[in-house]
Structure 1
Amino acid sequence: MLDRALLTLPLTGGRPIDSYDPRFAELADAVLRGRYIAAADGAGRLLAERFYDVRLISYFVFGVVLEQGVGGLGWALDVVMGLARSGWEGLGPAQGQQKHVKSSVRWLLEAISRRLAHLEDDPQGWARFMAEWDDERRAALIDAADALAVQLDGLGDLSLTARRVVSALRTLAVAPPPPLVEPTASQAPPIVEEDASEEQIDEDEDEARTTTSATTTSPL
């Protein structure tokens, strides 16, 4: 399981990682292929070495959301809020930091809102999520996402992206669970009795004629 303690705020003593570092390139490729947990695992290893890059953080945080459900989502919103309140202090990359912050946080929030939207299409995933989805946590998550949207106001479209998370949470809060599709037992094909072949009928008729003939000519 991904260790949230690898990302404890405030972040201090961070080290830069080059965008062309093969370790980073490998994680970016995993994300492009939809291998989010693998990307989060790799990002966690780099975070353990204090490579506090916002791109790595976005990969790691989304992995926690996927893996840890309601609890992971609450933690994710708290992390982004904490980083935003600190002015993204201590985050790399140093060159073009604001641009990377916007693109990485946008990617993370969009990934979260998509996950929430498509959760309804996965009955088993829905059931796991709803096992922790009580009224108290529901209200807390909606409030946290709404507060994050306010905090991100002024950072391009990040506030709007955060409000999509709010909308997804509100929809999830009232939507009925998807119907469980019960597997149906496959029915055996009906057994069709074949009609006797013409050849068999002819043989039966010949046998009957022979028997009749024998009975007629037999001596008294």
Structure 2
Amino acid sequence: MAETKIPRATAKRLPIYYRYLNILHDGGKNRVSSNELSDAIQVDSATIRRDFSYFGALGKRGYGYDVQSLLDFFKKILNQDQLTNVALIGAGNLGHALLNFNFHMDSNIRISAAFDTNADNVNTVQGGVPIYPMDQMVQQLNEQQIEVVILTTPAKVAQKVTDEVAETGVKGILNFTPIRLSTPKKIRVHNVDLTNELQTLTYFIDHYDQKDEKDDFF
């Protein structure tokens, strides 16, 4: 199942389904309909059914979906039974906030190492995460076998740092810098541009009726 090829939009919704199913499970609910899911996560029921159909028969007509079965399925699909160690590169204001954000409370993700140039940060532990000097980055990424990094460096050094990261076994970069990075094909980059997201949000507020339009993400 893990090799199932699905649309990117569907893939982005899978963690949302998993998170809400956890909420249902914790609340003691045993089954759920696509309409109930739709009301909770604001994705239309037809889209939910289509998303689930990519993985075969996950529900039963007239019954809906078994919460525990769905939860187990998405846990496997999203590799939630395995801990994913992530590195943070850049422990400035944004980086510091991410260090103190407990990813592991809602997922299998944990920041296990951070890197920075600031002497006040280096060789300290923040949010339970050790911060190493930048000259140890390549060595630590390799030794800890880290495959995902979060990049929150200043824009002017983002590409240089990325070039160094490319020397390791890293396969993915969550890029919070405004720079569009150049990487080898082996590395997937997802860009998180907070300014762009806010500008897009204000545009939709000004030009679209929320009752009639859905976010393009869905």
Same fold (TM over 0.5): no
* Larger helix proportion of the pair: 1
Q: TM-score, normalised by structure 2?
A: 0.26
More RCO (CA 8 Å, sep 6+): 1
* Larger strand proportion of the pair: 2
Computing the radius of gyration from Cα coordinates, the structure with the larger value is: 1
Q: TM-score, normalised by structure 1?
A: 0.25
